[in-house]
Amino acid sequence: MDIHEYQAKEILARFGVAVPQGALAYSPEQAAYRARELGGDRWIVKAQVHAGGRGKAGGVKLCESEHEILDSASDMFGQKLVTHQTGPEGKGVYRVYVEGAVAFNREIYLGFVLDRTSQRVMIVASSQGGMEIEEISAQRPESIVRSTVEPAVGLQDFQAREIAFALGIPAKLMQQMTRTLQGCYRAFTELDATMVEINPLVITADDRVLALDAKMTFDGNAVFRHPHIAELRDKSQEDPRESRAADRGLNYIGLTGNIGCIVNGAGLAMATMDTIKLAGGEPANFLDIGGGATPERVAKAFRLVMSDDNVQAILVNIFAGINRCDWVAEGVVQALKANPVDVPVIVRLAGTNVEEGQKILAKSGLPIIRANSLIEAAERAVTAWKNDVAQNTKMRAV
């Protein structure tokens, strides 16, 4: 789960990380008022979206008057900010963050991530801040500092000082840098984060260590332990299909193809998408309905998949171990009878009670295309999709 910059800064500040003074605004007029509250003569107006690269896309503006703040905020509100991380569809801007401009001498990159290879929290830092870590890795790989934290003892002061020395932090700022590193680590571990990133972390002209930008991502499976974090979720920044799926306990990721997938198990879902590609089709989604594929859950999955206008065929691929094929078959029949679809439906069942499941499908009287293997199901899905598209094209021509 992602959160906004201003939310990440509020969290990190509670853990001892120094951040500039700022205020949130929901309109251009409020943004100008926030600047008056903050004082000063230069401000930064930042679009709050869940994406990096905002500056290059016009989502970060330096302003030197209230008039400039009004104009900059007006240009942002209600617009779609398109960056290299959002894709062509962009992210809607519905709030901005106003900060007093800070004069600084150095920019540093600082990131905390979960390294799955070592099963440890890894600190990644660079003296070349202000750029995306991918750019730093490509252009200045020698500047990157990596340090793995031993979970039994956590981040120790000596390890934090080693990182600071490697970054060339002056001795007089060592205590501030150590406090910043320790604060980020505690926020990461105590709140079940999967990423904490400060880019840039700056050394100001008056010798302060400040987080000018901040990103945090949390483990969606652990947010139930942190209700105050769960409340920070902004659904306007999410794919609406993925939001609906999450609210219904389904694991869904929207893609750009036209063959919808309903599968139980993440591994089988990945294999299903690969097989569709192998057969000449394009999957429209990743959808794992999980271990409890009850009729009601399958019906929810059908409604979710069909909410994507690009879907022109549906492939249901269930391997029943804990599940039961007859349950899944009942769910398919119930879903299609309650909400008939005008696209081909291909069903492949295997495992527990598969014979009963096949009988339910056969007796339903619905035009369901059955398959016995994954490759057969994928090939039939692609063929049915192509035939359906060709038939519709012919009818429109007539």
- Residues noted as catalytic: 109, 197
Q: Is 263 strand, coil or helix?
A: strand
- The DSSP string of 160-196 is HHHHHHHTT--GGGHHHHHHHHHHHHHHHHHTTEEEE
**What does the angle CA 19 – CA 25 – CA 30 come to, to the nearest 5 degrees?**
125
Residue 264 annotated as binding?
yes
The b-or-e profile of 358-388 (16+ CB within 10 A means b, else e) is bebbeebeeebbbbeebeebbbbbbbbbeee
Is 231 within any annotated ligand binding site?
no
296 is in an annotated binding site: no
Cα–Cα distance for residue pair 184/222, rounded to 1 Å: 18
Asked whether residue 386 is marked as a ligand-binding residue, the answer is no
Query: 99: which 2 tokens?
Result: 């900060």
The position carrying tokens 């009850």 is 294
Q: Which among 183, 13, 204, 216 is positioned nearest to 108, based on CA atoms? A: 204
User: Is residue 199 part of an annotated ligand binding site?
Assistant: yes
Q: CA distances (Å), 180 to each of 297, 338, 341, in order?
A: 45, 56, 55
Token look-up 């509100």 returns 77
Q: How far apart are CA 15 and CA 38, in angstroms?
A: 23
The answer to whether residues 279 and 379 touch, using CB atoms and an 8 Å cutoff, is yes
Query: Is 87 annotated as ligand-binding?
Result: no
290's tokens:
């999980």
d(CA 188, CA 234): 20
* Binding site feature residues for Mg(2+): 199, 213
* Binding site feature residues for ATP: 46, 53-55, 99, 102, 107
* Binding site feature residues: 46, 53-55, 99, 102, 107, 199, 213, 264
